[in-house]
Amino acid sequence: MASKFLAVGAVVPWAKAGAGAIATQSHANTSYGPKALELLSQGKSADEVIKQLTIDDMGKDVRQVGIIDAKGNAATFTGAKCMAWVTTIIV
């Protein structure tokens, strides 16, 4: 993982055995990690979790998130106002 910010490891990656993993960056919303893991633990897919996290997030236009669920399904979201150099997130 690469970032222009120092110590991103404290806010970017989240994972839970049997549930999945999430990475949030570009104005990271630190609530995404715990919320995503809870939703994944309930059996939600990566796509469903992305939709749930971003639907009411007023700052979603500057956020980026990637999720992989326990079944290996991946989903990503890059907000419309992210800087041009962060237009791709790879899971």
Nearest to 24 by CA among 16, 35, 81, 39: 35
Close Cβ partners of 4 (under 8 Å, ≥ 6 residues apart): none
Q: Is 25 helix (H, G, I), strand (E, B) or coil?
A: strand
Q: Give the model confidence (pLDDT) of 3-51 as tens digits.
A: 555 555 566 789 999 999 999 877 878 899 999 999 999 999 999 999 9
Nearest to 26 by CA among 91, 68, 69, 79: 79
How far is the C-alpha of 6 from the C-alpha of 18, rounded, in Å?
A: 30
Q: What is the pLDDT of residue 74?
A: 96
Backbone CA torsion sign across 15, 38, 17, 78: negative
Q: What is the mean pLDDT of residues 78-87?
A: 76
